[in-house]
Amino acid sequence: MRRTTSAVIGIGEVPTGKYPERSELDAAVTASREAILDAGLSPRDIDMVLPVGALASRHFNVDLVFSRLCEELGMNRSAKMNCQIMAGGATSSAVLAVADALIANGQAKRILCVHSDAVGSLPRQAGIDLFATTGVSEEWEAPFGHNMNAVGALASQRYMYETGTTEAELAAVCVSLRKWAMLNPNAMFRTPLTIEDVMGSKLVATPLRAKQCNMLADGAAAFIVADAAEAGSHCEMPAYVRGHGSLVTHYSISQERDLARLGFPEAAREAYAEAGIGPDAIQLASIYDAYPVWPLMSLDGLNLCRGERAGAFVAAGETSPGGSLPMTTNGGMLSQGHTGVGGGIAVMVEAFRQLMGKAGERQVANLVNAVETASGGTWMDSHVTILSREAA
């Protein structure tokens, strides 16, 4: 078990959806301001800014790299470093691991991590083509018509083949997420969804149907990571960073040799050991989705289903409101919306929100420990992070 060195003490988020009139900068500074105020800080208390990658606008991303947020938020000559962290969908876990290490080494005391993007306002075909290049090999995969929905489909097929998971169980993941999203004012999709609605939607890439494919959205979220020693003086219930494990398994999905598991079992073992917290002591799972197969694979790898198959566990309602293991209570990328790199950031910020006791109608009772997962590109890596209301 590792001594705890950092905690999240403030969060901010703007609603996810299609907001063509809201600029990425507007969303970024609004979410950042909320996080700084939530932590009870002023801008000059922040000593580092780690903006994560934005995909829709190269110009905006260059602004993020070149300290625009420091200037906009009043941190000129007080921030020591502005540095972009980018690991695609895995950036949530990755930026938290980097922030935790910077604080552990005494490089920083209070770090602002922020995401903003407007991939939802791209024309539909531009969105498809953008994500057909994120971890898809131009030479060896794109010529065969490969694309992001096919990535989810290829993994679904192999996972179903190896585990016996059914199409209805994949659909149950979407239904569980939607039940949580209906309680989340920041979510894009808040109307009721049934297994039949999912199974009756148009086939996109077998076995995936339209309602099993995420919708691109605009959004922004931010959080403040602080030295664990001072976290309690800023925040009533900080979310302590307890452990992290990860493994890169491929760049192109066609080179993945264990597509039904990826690196989640290894990452989970490492994270649980570092945290000194095992699967039986987890009360909340904030699981990166984007397609329904990934939460199932992650639940298996994290050993969270009490020996049951993840598909059966989710179909029995265990991850829905009222279930024994609330999962991805913001609705995930399938119902809150896929904001690019930020889909994972929102899933992680929701875990912080729950641990900080600020989840409103979605608040999970008797919560102590939570697990967060993420993966980038074509699920190139498997990240597992353990968070807690208690420091070690």
Partner 1 sequence: MTAPVRPLPQPSAWSAPFWQAARENRLVIQRCNACDEKIMFPRRYCPSCLSDDLGYVAAKGTGEIYTLTTQMAGPPSGFEDLLPYVIAVIRLDEDVQMMSNIIGPGALSARIGDRVQVDFHPVPGTDTVLPVFRLAEED
Residues 156-175 that bind partner 1 (CB under 8 A): 156-158, 161
Which one of 1, 37, 71, 140 is in contact with partner 1 (CB under 8 A)? 140
Closest distance of CB 266 from partner 1, Å: 20
d(CA 181, CA 190): 6
Which one of 137, 166, 283, 363 is in contact with partner 1 (CB under 8 A)? 137
Q: Which is nearer to partner 1, 96 or 253 (CB)?
A: 253
Residues 67-101 as b/e (b if ≥16 CB within 10 A, e otherwise) read: bbbbebbebeeebeebebbbbbbbbbbbbbbbbbe
Which amino acid is present at 195?
A: I
Which one of 23, 67, 166, 252 is in contact with partner 1 (CB under 8 A)? 252
Q: Which is nearer to partner 1, 129 or 390 (CB)?
A: 129
Three-state SS at 112: strand
Contact between 125 and partner 1 by CB under 8 A: the answer reads yes
**Count, residues near partner 1 per rule CB under 8 A:** 39
Contact between 134 and partner 1 by CB under 8 A: the answer reads no
Contact between 296 and partner 1 by CB under 8 A: the answer reads no
Which positions ≥6 away from 319 have C-beta within 8 Å?
A: 176, 285, 295, 299, 313, 325, 326, 327, 328
Closest Cα to residue 113, out of 22, 274, 239? Answer: 239
Q: Which is nearer to partner 1, 138 or 236 (CB)?
A: 138
Which one of 11, 36, 97, 153 is in contact with partner 1 (CB under 8 A)? 153
Interhelix angle 264-275/293-301, nearest 10 degrees = 50
Mind spelling out the 3-state secondary structure of 73-110?
Answer: CCCCCCCCEECCECECECHHHHHHHHHHHHHHCCCCCE
Residues 180-209 that bind partner 1 (CB under 8 A): 202-208
83 to 122: interface string for partner 1, x by CB under 8 A: ----------------------------------------
Residues 18-53 as b/e (b if ≥16 CB within 10 A, e otherwise) read: ebeebbbbebbbbbbebbbebbebebebbbbbbbbb
Contact between 261 and partner 1 by CB under 8 A: the answer reads no
Q: Which is nearer to partner 1, 38 or 256 (CB)?
A: 256
Asked if 274 and 386 touch (Cβ cutoff 8 Å), the reply is: yes
Contact between 253 and partner 1 by CB under 8 A: the answer reads yes
Q: Which is nearer to partner 1, 23 or 137 (CB)?
A: 137
Q: Give contact residues for partner 1 (rule: CB under 8 A).
A: 125, 128-129, 132, 137-147, 149-150, 153-158, 161, 202-208, 210, 213, 252-255, 257, 259
